Structure 1
Amino acid sequence: MSDVQKLTIDGKNYVLLSEDDYEDLVDGLQASAIMARIAAGEETWPLDLVKELFETDSRVRTFREYRKISTAALAEAADISEQDLSDIESNTTTGSVDVLTRIATALNVDLDDLVVERDAHQ
């Protein structure tokens, strides 16, 4: 951290620091908040999984394989047939919001983690 100046204006104390030092301070606070969430049990995902989620044609399958859950076990946990799950994983059908919510719950992920908005021009 470079030089910090202390100022008093209208009886209030202020600290003047460079923009770089301010950004470093904010980054440190944000990192501390993230580390606190992790320490409290928030799940983190390995980089390989994150990359796969951007490239996959089926986030349901990617999460199922990451969680090491068989198709049969996930279908049972989501209360759907294996064929319905297979159709969702192969993008033959999208599945209703209710079904996708049950799948997300069974995979212990947010519904938003399963559903990706595609570019309309693709």
Structure 2
Amino acid sequence: MINIQFIERDGRPEFAVVPIEVWERIKRRVGELDDAALHGQAKTRDDGFRIPAAILDAELSGDNPVKAWREYRRMTQDALATAAGLSKPYLSQIENRKRDGSIEVFQSLAAALCVPIDVLVEQPGK
């Protein structure tokens, strides 16, 4: 039997004092429940989209995300420009960071490359 001490305030139990080995088991179980809840939340939010290592390597080497994805998809600039409804020079300028594209342009590129738009838009300071 486990010896638990109860501390009362105003005649009602307010605290329970348990042996440390009991506390350690409880703490471990609570941690397991937290882990299971976090895992469940992550699975619920998982859309199945993954970024291939080749894309990460290209971006870490300095490639613009649009260029990295275009090459990964084995598309020419002509093919991507046509699919996105852009001119090839404009696409080239985006890939070489000489021009910024509008949200509409990035939406067209994302659709043509079959990727979420957020993987194409570079974060400031990058």
1:29 and 1:56 map into 2 onto residues whose CA distance is: 38
Distance 1:30 1:47, change over 3 A: farther
Distance 1:67 1:28, change over 3 A: farther
- Aligned residue for 2:55, secondary structure, equals helix
Q: Give the number of the structure whose alpha-carbon radius of gyration is greater.
A: 2
Distance 1:23 1:48, change over 3 A: farther
The question of whether the paired residues in 1 share the 8 Å contact of 2:54 and 2:72 is answered with: no
Distance 1:32 1:67, change over 3 A: farther
Aligned pair count reads: 103
Distance 1:29 1:105, change over 3 A: same
Gaps of 5+ in 1: 1-8, 10-15
TM-score, structure 1 length as denominator?
0.64
Distance 1:62 1:23, change over 3 A: farther
Matches within 5 A, 1:94-109: 94-109=100-115
Question: Letter of the aligned partner of 1:109 in structure 2?
Answer: V
Distance 1:29 1:54, change over 3 A: farther
- Deviations along 1:9-40, one digit per CA (max 9) or x if unpaired, are 9xxxxxx831x5434443344445555776xx
TM-score, structure 2 length as denominator?
0.63
- Deviations along 1:62-120, one digit per CA (max 9) or x if unpaired, are 1111222221111111001111111111111112221121111111122211112223x
CA RMSD of aligned residues (A): 2.9
Matches within 5 A, 1:1-122: 17-18=26-27, 20-31=28-39, 34=42, 42-119=48-125
Q: Percent identity?
A: 29
Gaps of 5+ in 2: 1-12, 14-24
- Aligned residue for 2:82, secondary structure, equals helix
Detail structure 1 runs of 4+ shifted over 6 Å in the superposition.
none
